[in-house]
Amino acid sequence: MAERRVNVGWAEGLHARPASIFVRAATASGVPVTIAKAGGTPVNAASMLAVLGLGAQGGEEIVLTSEAEGAEVALDRLAKLVAEGLEELPETV
């Protein structure tokens, strides 16, 4: 299982627009990914309601995981997106 721990780079946390950006990126990654607050229950990273339900705040640690083939690259890209509070999924890491 691949895992990345990263602090949320969006000041407002994973709410509204940042959550939408993240969910679109997770869906576009092509691999099933889960997201959780550190020590929390993982949820589907491609579900807007699930991601909003986490209530992840800016600076808070989240954990991204996946068991799929290609997970390492997908998680690297998603982790970069979250850590840097980017507006879109980076092409490369």
Q: For Cα atoms 44, 33, 74, give the angle at the middle one, nearest 5 degrees.
A: 150
User: What's the burial of 11, exposed, middle or buried (CB within 10 Å: 0-12/13-18/19+)?
Assistant: exposed
The CA-based angle 18-93-20, given to 5 degrees, is 15
- Of 2, 7, 9, 15, which is the active-site residue? 15
15 is a catalytic site residue: yes
CA angle 27, 9, 26 (to 5 degrees): 5
Q: Which residues are known catalytic residues?
A: 15
